[in-house]
């Protein structure tokens, strides 16, 4: 077993599925010869041929629409959108068709497809490269939205996403692509979708996050532990459908919850989790649920992007707030 980065884990999961399932086709802008702008598909065209790892024309809506047609006819397309900020052009195909074909045809046709895309700020990218719009997809019936936060979860969840019979939006935290290494066994074992992963056990507060913000959330939990405050730390992982039970069980125990997310606060996944806790665990709460989010602004260009991103300090302040409430 070797320690690998998240981007290498993505590459290994793609290679594994290409190797084991002849219906899997990987394509997108620059994914072939060039191996993807982040190298997620590095070497795959060489190993599996350019008919299976294909450069597509530069058109995001086409990339999504092709996946609808391919998957309805029995292929398992794994398409890359180069940056999440470019996906808006593809929303019509994703929302109007991929998410609905099974329902519209009463199960006769379906879209077992994956759209992978790097997302989030913190890599000094230009405009339109840094958004976290997972809530937009979470709003759409019929989709799955999956966000890994570590190499091992990237590997296991991507395998699960490709094998899932329904469309999956797989958002890869760009900032974490090469942030850490983890030992990942390349054994083709998928992780379950639709469940949260509990990463730390504690009694004083529940910290809920996903994707890139997991990193700061875990740092905050470590810092709290030094002061004798123990936190349940939950990686949501599948944003939609949301496993609220794991979160509720934790909140019943701790009575306090801080949700950490990179996206804007308004109508966010954090808003949904917060509402579900209010509906289902009000009597367990000892303090209002607090969201630590990006600001309700456009993600700034890189001189201010660190200011935009929730910091460990902002998380600690929020935890202090819920601990000190009454």
Partner 1 sequence: MNQENTIVANFAISYFRYLDENGICSKELPAYLQDPQHIEKLYKMMAKTRIFDKKAITLQRTGKLGTYPSTLGQEAICVGIGAAMKKEDVLCPYYREYGAQFWRGVRMEEILLYWGGDEIGSAFKDNPHDFPICVPIASQCLHAVGAAFAFQYRQEKRAVVATIGDGGTSRGDFYEALGVAGVWKLPVVFVINNNQWAISVAREKQTASETLAQKGIACGVPSLQVDGNDIFAVTQKVEEALARARNGEGSTLIEAITYRMCDHTTADDASRYRPEAELKAHEKFDPIKRVKQYLLSKGDWDEARESKMIESFTQEVNDAVARYLETPTPPAEVMFEHLYATLPRAYEAQYQALKEGTK
**Which residue carries 């599948």 as its tokens?**
238
Please give the size of the binding site for partner 1, defined by CB under 8 A.
Answer: 45
Nearest to 169 by CA among 76, 260, 84, 262: 84
Looking at the Cβ atoms of 6 and 81, the one nearer to partner 1 is 81
Stretch (H or E) spanning 54: strand 53-55
Q: Tokens for 232?
A: 């349940």
As a whole number of angstroms, the distance between CA 82 and CA 149 comes to 19
Interface positions, 148-177, toward partner 1 (CB under 8 A): 165-166
As a whole number of angstroms, the distance between CA 97 and CA 130 comes to 26
- Reply yes or no on whether 129 is catalytic: yes
- Active-site residue identified among 97, 124, 128, 129: 129
Q: Tokens for 42?
A: 């590095």
What's the min distance (Å) between Cβ of 122 and partner 1? Answer: 30
Looking at the Cβ atoms of 89 and 179, the one nearer to partner 1 is 89
What's the min distance (Å) between Cβ of 5 and partner 1? Answer: 30
What's the min distance (Å) between Cβ of 253 and partner 1? Answer: 20
Contacts with partner 1, 228-267, as mask; x by CB under 8 A = -------------xxxxx----------------------
Interface positions, 59-118, toward partner 1 (CB under 8 A): 59, 61-62, 64-75, 77, 89, 92-93, 96-97, 102-110
Residue 39: Cβ-neighbour burial (10 angstroms; 0-12, 13-18, 19+): middle
What's the min distance (Å) between Cβ of 169 and partner 1? Answer: 14
Active site residues: 129
């Amino acid at each position: 077993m070797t320690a690998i980065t998240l981007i290498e884990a993505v590459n290994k999961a793609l290679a594994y599925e290409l190797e084991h399932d002849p219906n899997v086709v990987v394509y997108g802008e620059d994914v072939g010869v060039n191996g993807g702008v982040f190298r997620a598909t590095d070497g795959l065209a060489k190993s599996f041929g350019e008919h299976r790892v294909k450069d597509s024309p530069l058109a995001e809506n086409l990339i999504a629409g092709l996946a609808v047609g391919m998957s309805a006819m029995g292929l398992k397309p794994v398409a890359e959108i180069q940056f999440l900020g470019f996906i808006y052009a593809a929303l019509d195909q994703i929302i109007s068709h991929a998410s609905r074909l099974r329902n519209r045809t009463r199960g006769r046709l379906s879209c077992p497809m994956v759209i992978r895309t790097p997302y989030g700020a913190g890599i000094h990218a230009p405009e339109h490269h840094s958004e976290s719009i997972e809530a937009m997809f979470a709003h759409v019936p019929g989709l799955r939205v999956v966000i890994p936060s570590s190499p091992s979860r990237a590997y296991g969840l991507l395998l699960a996403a490709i094998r899932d019979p329904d469309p999956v939006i797989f958002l890869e935290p760009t900032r974490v692509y090469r942030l850490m290494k983890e030992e990942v066994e390349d054994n083709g074992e998928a992780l379950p979708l639709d469940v949260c992963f509990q990463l730390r056990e504690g009694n004083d507060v529940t910290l809920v996050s996903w994707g890139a913000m997991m990193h700061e959330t875990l740092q905050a939990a470590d810092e709290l532990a030094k002061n004798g405050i123990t936190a349940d730390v939950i990686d949501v992982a599948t944003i939609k459908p949301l496993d609220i039970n794991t979160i509720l069980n934790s909140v019943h125990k701790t009575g306090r919850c801080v949700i950490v997310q990179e996206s804007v606060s308004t109508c966010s996944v954090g808003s949904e989790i917060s509402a579900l806790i209010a509906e289902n665990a009000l009597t367990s709460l000892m303090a209002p649920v607090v969201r630590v989010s990006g600001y309700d602004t456009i993600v700034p260009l890189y001189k201010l992007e660190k200011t935009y991103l929730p910091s460990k300090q902002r998380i600690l302040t929020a935890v202090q707030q819920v601990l000190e409430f009454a």
